[in-house]
Amino acid sequence: MPPDPAFRDRLARVARQEQFLTVLSREDALARFRAAVPHASLPAESVALSEALGRVLAEDIASPIDVPPFDRSLVDGFAIRAADTEGAGEGSPVRLTLNAEILACGTPPSLAVGPGTATPIATGGVIPRGADAVVMVERTELVSEEPPTIELVRGAAPGQFVGSAGADMALGETVLRRASLVTAREIGMLAACGLARVPVVRRPRVAVLSTGDELVAPGEPLRPAAIYDSNGAIVAASVTENGGAPVPLGIVPDDEAALEAAIRESLGACDLVVLSGGTSKGAGDVSHRILSRLGEPGILVHGVALKPGKPLCLAAAEGKAIVVLPGFPTSAMFTFHEFVVPLIRALAGLPPREEATVAATVPQRLASELGRLEFVMASLAPGPDGLVALPLPKGSGSVTAFSQADGFFAVPANRAGLEAGERVTLTRLGAGVRPPDLTIVGSHCLGLDRLVGRLAERGLRARTIWVGSSGGLAALKRGECDLAAMHLLDPASGTYNEPFLSPGLRLAPGWRRMQGIVHRPGDPRFAGVSAQAAVRAALADPDSVMVNRNTGSGTRLLVEGLLAGARPAGYWNQPRSHNAVAAAVAQGRADWGVAIESVARAYGLGFLPVTREHYDLAYREDRRDGPALAAFLALLDEPETGRDLAALGFSRDGEA
């Protein structure tokens, strides 16, 4: 049956793939955006003092009172007349009779200090009439109780230990300036002035929408071919971090009428509208068509020479900005950081973000796309000549890249890449980010995740970068990490890991993991046969599709041994993890692959064992005594570690 006309129209739109209007450089896109959208602070609003923290003052603040509002004592002691102590010394002490009152804080004086008298006073107490100095209680001695009399052997100068009214803040004095950020210090000053309400710049209200039929709200069941909406939460949190007030509006489907209604409603209620998704040219992307009819000036930028982030769309209508971020999380956050954060901070009256940077070296040649400014997420690690920036092997669809990276560096648009050893400037992500105590590079394992968690309980922070066994070993040889997690089988000797070590490297025995063929339960091609027989049958079946592993992984070596040179359907599908292999099989995109038994169980797959591989950790002998590495190696041998690994289906060396 031929497709209906509506479906044919959708196919035609997909085939046409409308092009980006004009791809601009980052600088030209920013200039066009700033020219069309005012980057100026919003009007003032009055908020309670308790709500002013983190806000920006909209006006100069003048003190409505003197602070302190009276002359006060700066010490515990006695309020006196300085003239009465003239000539006091060891041989000629001065005696003063105490008045019948004690001036505690908050107690107004009722008696004046006359000649030859003194009044006991606490720190912060009001200086009584007649007194012009205070002597510390430690400098006096009680010599009589009837009447109470003190003796001084040292004179006092006028004004000694007296804080004058208005010494801190004087009536009418400008104590805080417009555009000042209200921190705890400013809160204290405002409270000391008696101000219960504060004029601050209104926070920009930022509508946050996510678009796409594939999105599901966190907490809801995940239907087939759907993903959870992470961009909405990330964008809303980033708005708050930068002084805005997010207005989360949830998920809008790829329905043109519904999306247009949501955008128009947001324009009426908010100062800025941020969408994620709907910027590229897929069948469901309708945002650009809506923006073109919202009013002048409409679409300002659709396509920026950034990687990631090319599909960014910037528009304006009704004097407000509308930003459509790319759908992939890393692309969305880079473009948000570059284009939206400056606008939010300007509207909130905040200064531009202060970016902390650090110099580092790129350890290996890094290819890049000529003509696009590329941002590369990286982790910092100690190298032989200072810090090295280890690029994270995750693309624009990664949600975890920002949380796992120490920062990012840029590859200029006029470069096709960077050479090994080149210096880069890495922009740090977030405040208080510190380099890890331990850097582990190599092959991922849930058992290693468990050990890293136990290290964290002891105050040691480990950074893990999953690049496969061979990549981890190469990084260790270059001195870029503390541990390489590996499970490499040497076909010649049948030995794991040890044959691959170079001089100066040592192996810490880890644990054993069962590798095998994963398949969907009930598939008769894999029922009741050995793994080797199942592979032979799959290779003989033209309808069978495998899923491979990435080059450099330990599992890939095992797969190649099973295939014995064959290149069946699915061979070039080479994901980087056991989980990705299991997901491909569970979802029916492949019929079989090789993964560890614990992952097969987690995905509800059938499992045919092949071999119990050795998952070990290599380290540099010259770093053996480093505190974090020593703690990790000791942790490996703790009984609790063995129990944790057993619960995951793994076993230590020599255990059954």
Taking residue 229's Cβ as centre, other Cβ atoms within 10 Å add up to 21
Clarify whether residues 384 and 489 are in a common domain.
no
pLDDT digits 0-9 by tens, 604-655: 999 999 999 999 999 999 989 999 999 999 999 999 999 999 999 899 864 4
pLDDT of residue 278: 58
* Cβ neighbours of residue 622 closer than 8 Å, sequence gap 6 or more: 504
pLDDT of residue 541: 93
Length of the chain equals: 656
Would residue 649 be called left, alpha or beta, if left means φ above 0 and alpha means ψ between -120 and 50 degrees? left
Which of 109, 133, 163 is the last residue before a domain boundary? 163
C-beta of residue 336 within 8 angstroms of C-beta of residue 344 = no
Could you report how far apart the first and last alpha carbons of the chain are, in Å? 59
481 burial level (CB within 10 Å; 0-12, 13-18, 19+): buried
pLDDT of residue 479: 86
Main-chain phi, psi angles of 84, to 5 degrees = -70, -15
pLDDT band at residue 656 under the 50/70/90 scheme: very low
Q: What is the 3-state secondary structure (H, E, C) of 82-137?
A: HHHHCCCCCCCCEEEEECCCCECCCCCCCCCCCCCEEEEECCCCECCCCCCEEEEH
11 part of a folded domain:
no
Main-chain phi, psi angles of 559, to 5 degrees = -60, -45
The H helix count followed by the E strand count for the chain is: 17, 38
213 part of a folded domain:
yes
pLDDT digits 0-9 by tens, 345-374: 999 999 998 888 889 999 889 998 888 899
Clarify whether residues 553 and 630 are in a common domain.
yes
Mean pLDDT (the chain, rounded): 90
What total number of domains does the chain contain? 5
pLDDT of residue 339: 95
pLDDT band at residue 576 under the 50/70/90 scheme: confident
pLDDT band at residue 327 under the 50/70/90 scheme: confident
pLDDT of residue 285: 58
Clarify whether residues 561 and 651 are in a common domain.
yes
C-beta of residue 263 within 8 angstroms of C-beta of residue 321 = no
Structural domain containing residue 59: 44-64+174-201
Q: Could you give the dihedral angle defined by the CA atoms of residues 517, 520, 524 and 528, in that order, rounded to the nearest 10 degrees?
A: 40
148 part of a folded domain:
yes
129 part of a folded domain:
yes
Mean pLDDT within 319-323: 94
pLDDT of residue 255: 85
**Most distant CA pair in the chain, distance:** 121
Mean pLDDT within 449-456: 94
Clarify whether residues 319 and 448 are in a common domain.
no
pLDDT digits 0-9 by tens, 341-353: 999 999 999 999 8
pLDDT digits 0-9 by tens, 15-48: 444 445 578 999 999 999 999 999 999 999 999 9
Which pTM does this prediction carry? 0.80
pLDDT digits 0-9 by tens, 113-170: 999 999 999 999 999 999 999 999 999 999 988 899 999 999 999 999 999 999 999 9
146 part of a folded domain:
yes
pLDDT digits 0-9 by tens, 295-311: 889 999 999 998 888 88
Give the Cα separation of 292 and 256 in Å (integer). 13
Most confident of 8-12, 288-292, 512-516, 576-580: 512-516
Which of 163, 186, 221 is the last residue before a domain boundary? 163
Mean pLDDT within 207-223: 91
Which pair of tokens denotes residue 79? 């309020």
C-beta of residue 71 within 8 angstroms of C-beta of residue 127 = yes
Closest CA to 170 of 296, 250, 302, 65: 65
Which of 428, 456, 478 is the last residue before a domain boundary? 428
Clarify whether residues 286 and 334 are in a common domain.
yes
Clarify whether residues 90 and 150 are in a common domain.
yes
pLDDT of residue 4: 65
- Sign of the dihedral through C-alpha 11, 13, 16, 17: negative
pLDDT band at residue 496 under the 50/70/90 scheme: very high
pLDDT digits 0-9 by tens, 382-438: 777 888 888 887 554 466 667 778 889 999 999 999 998 899 999 888 665 567 899
pLDDT band at residue 256 under the 50/70/90 scheme: confident
- Give the CATH number of the domain where residue 91 resides: 2.170.190.11
121 part of a folded domain:
yes
Inform me whether the pLDDT recorded for 5 exceeds 90: no
Clarify whether residues 282 and 338 are in a common domain.
yes
Most confident of 179-183, 429-433, 479-483: 179-183
C-beta of residue 611 within 8 angstroms of C-beta of residue 532 = no
Mean pLDDT within 564-582: 93
6 part of a folded domain:
no
Clarify whether residues 187 and 156 are in a common domain.
no
- Give the CATH number of the domain where residue 191 resides: 3.90.105.10
- Give the CATH number of the domain where residue 208 resides: 3.40.980.10
